[in-house]
Amino acid sequence: MIEKLRRKFVYVSLTSVSVMLLILMGILNSLNYITTVDKADRTLMILFDNGGRFPEPVEPMAEDDIMHKPPLHGMDKDLKHFSAETPFESRYFSVTFDSNGNVSATDTASIAAVTKELAEKHAASARESGKESGFIGNYRFRSDGFMVVFLDCTRDIESFRSLLFISLGVAVAGLLFVFIFSLFFSNIALKPVMQSYMKQKRFITDASHEIRTPLTIIDANTEVIEMTSGKTEWTRSIRSQITRLSELTKSLVSLSRMDEGNGSFNPTEFSLSDALEEVGEQFDSSAMRSHKKFEKDIEHGITMKGDETQIRQLISILLDNAMKYSNPEGWIKLEMGRNGHKASIAVSNSVESAIKGEHDQVFDRFMRMDSSRTHSTPGYGLGLSIAQSIVLRHKGRISAFSPDERTFCLKAILPIV
């Protein structure tokens, strides 16, 4: 149990940090990409509005003229983001088409890596895409159908990719650090829980041993009374309560051992079908005495590797639960079938009324399916908790649900050979 809590603590820590890093990386790289594309589009807008070339440098304005200059708009607004070095730093080319779709002019003077043929090929691809702007390789383009202007964004894209890989590296390093930190810190964080759990476990074990001694003495004294005075209603009641307490302490110790994984576990390959048949037969007479209909639908030839004793205990718990809580003169059904590499074991029973849906709360310890805490229905609310522990120990899963308002079902899925 403690190891499960430790793994869960590490898992939650890693998941939380992963989500946070993913969001931060997404925002950072998205903003970087948007900035890169926006910068390229501004440059392309200037080139496009000037026939595929940069405009001539504008003479610096006097300070008084700048104060009275009207607000910038359009191309003038784009120009303010560039320096006089921008035309010399940029690599671009353009291709112009006539009304018939034939190439009328190709300008590759400002780029050395692109030939005339390659420029015309890229331009044709841009026109065929039908987009006003976009990427072809590392080239950002802008087109109106007659002229296509391309800007080489290789350096910006490489910068974007570098930031992406750096952020990924930082994220991986951060997760590794959090993982190591969580492993170390989990022992400190869970120390109070560990101490409390160990005290609880020790109390259960010690209490069980302490209770057994007086129970043995009471049982022996009761036997002496019955030998001298005969059996009475009171001695029968005493023996009944001794049996109840003995079973309760046995269940508590068994559950405590299963939680820690310290209980005996002897996995062998056995016939699951035969185990269900044999355990089911033990409940035939009980069903007849209770005037309840007991049906079995078990697929033959299914084997599994596990602790046969525990699996038989699991089936017995599920059937015992169905016998106890099915309505008078109702029905119980035991089913088992193959589903791929797993076996599905279902125990259903009729009830007076049930809320349709999941009922996994029945696996809580000391949870009784009847609303009262009286002893009209025998049991302590530990059986299904033990059943769940057995299933989990065999790498399976178990659920409780009501498919309708008159049926309750317990279903276990177990891996098979």
| Residue 31 pLDDT > 90 | yes
Q: What are phi and psi of 122, to 5 degrees?
A: -65, -40
| Residue 138 pLDDT > 60 | yes
The fraction of the chain above a pLDDT of 70, given in percent, is 85
| Residue 7 pLDDT > 50 | yes
CATH of domain 191-260: 1.10.287.130
Average pLDDT, the chain: 84
Q: What are phi and psi of 388, to 5 degrees?
A: -65, -40
Helix (H, G, I), strand (E, B) or coil at 355: coil
| Least trusted range by pLDDT, from 184-188, 262-266, 292-296 | 262-266
- Per residue in 39-82, pLDDT (tens digit) is 999 999 998 888 888 887 645 444 555 445 445 444 454 555 56
C-beta separation of 304 from 417 below 8 A: yes
Q: 151: exposed, middle or buried (C-beta count within 10 Å: 0-12, 13-18, 19+)?
A: buried
Which DSSP helix (H) or strand (E) runs through 4?
helix 2-49
Cα 44 to Cα 142: distance, rounded to the nearest angstrom:
7
Cα 160 to Cα 148: distance, rounded to the nearest angstrom:
25
Range(s) for CATH 3.30.565.10 in the chain? 268-415
C-beta separation of 302 from 416 below 8 A: yes
Q: Class for domain 268-415, per CATH?
A: alpha beta
Q: So what's the pLDDT on residue 233? A: 87
What is the Cβ-side half-sphere exposure of residue 279, based on CA atoms within 13 angstroms? 24
Tell me the whole-structure pTM to 2 decimals: 0.53
C-beta separation of 143 from 133 below 8 A: yes
Helix (H, G, I), strand (E, B) or coil at 43: helix
Q: So what's the pLDDT on residue 262? A: 59
What is the Cβ-side half-sphere exposure of residue 360, based on CA atoms within 13 angstroms? 6
Q: Mean per-residue pLDDT for 385-400?
A: 91
Range(s) for CATH 1.10.287.130 in the chain? 191-260
| Residue 375 pLDDT > 50 | no
Q: So what's the pLDDT on residue 149? A: 94
Instruction: Identify how many contiguous H helices and E strands the chain contains and give both numbers.
Output: 12, 13
- The strand pairing partners of 414, in sequence order, are 343
| Least trusted range by pLDDT, from 78-82, 102-106, 382-386 | 78-82
